[in-house]
């Protein structure tokens, strides 16, 4: 079965015929599952459209190659607190956004944390330190329950 957590397609090797295409677009996707979401959007032809402000960067920069335009797109964890958990690493918690939307969301969240609990603000929202293997283990657990 495909190693992408939310994918149930049969795989040849580690990935299905869709997700194996990460090699062409987002080479570090195996350690960053959210990039598989970006890949899906790219393959759908929506890789340059911001899901937050609706901006189509391909239309804005028609002279740039798609490959170059999509590098300006980030995958945002809608609820960043569950980043790195099985629940948090699902398409339902992802949105493909432009650099500005991502930047401003990060700034707003930081402001929010600072205002709310300046003295005990978490040093960092825990990042995703695991790999696809960690997610795989979770997947296995769930499948065997």
What is the C-alpha separation between 2 and 84, in angstroms, rounded? 19
Minimum CB distance to Zn ion, residue 12 (Å)? 11
Minimum CB distance to Zn ion, residue 121 (Å)? 26
20 or 134: whose CB is closer to Zn ion? Answer: 20
Does residue 7 touch Zn ion according to CB under 5 A?
yes
Stretch that binds Zn ion, among 48-56, 79-87, 115-123, 137-145 (CB under 5 A): 48-56
Contact between 66 and 49 (Cβ < 8 Å) = no
Among the listed residues 29, 101, 132, 135, the single contact to Zn ion using CB under 5 A = 101
Does residue 50 touch Zn ion according to CB under 5 A?
yes
What is the C-alpha separation between 25 and 29, in angstroms, rounded? 9
What is the C-alpha separation between 98 and 57, in angstroms, rounded? 8
Contact set for Zn ion, span 80-99 (CB under 5 A): 98
Q: What residue ranges bind Zn ion (CB under 5 A)?
A: 2, 4, 7, 9, 16, 19, 50, 52-53, 55, 98, 101
């Amino acid at each position: 079965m495909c190693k992408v957590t939310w994918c149930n397609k049969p795989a040849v090797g580690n990935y299905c015929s869709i997700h194996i295409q990460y090699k062409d677009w987002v080479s570090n996707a195996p350690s960053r599952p959210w990039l598989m979401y970006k890949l899906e959007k790219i393959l759908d032809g929506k890789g340059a459209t911001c899901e937050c402000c609706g901006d189509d960067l391909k239309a804005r920069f028609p002279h740039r190659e798609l490959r170059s335009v999509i590098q300006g797109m980030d995958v945002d964890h809608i609820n960043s607190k569950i980043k790195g958990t099985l629940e948090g690493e699902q398409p339902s918690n992802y949105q493909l956004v432009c650099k500005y939307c991502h930047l401003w969301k990060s700034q707003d969240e930081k402001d929010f944390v600072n205002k709310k609990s300046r003295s005990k603000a978490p040093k960092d929202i825990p990042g995703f330190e695991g790999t696809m293997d960690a997610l795989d283990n979770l997947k296995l657990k769930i499948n065997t329950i």
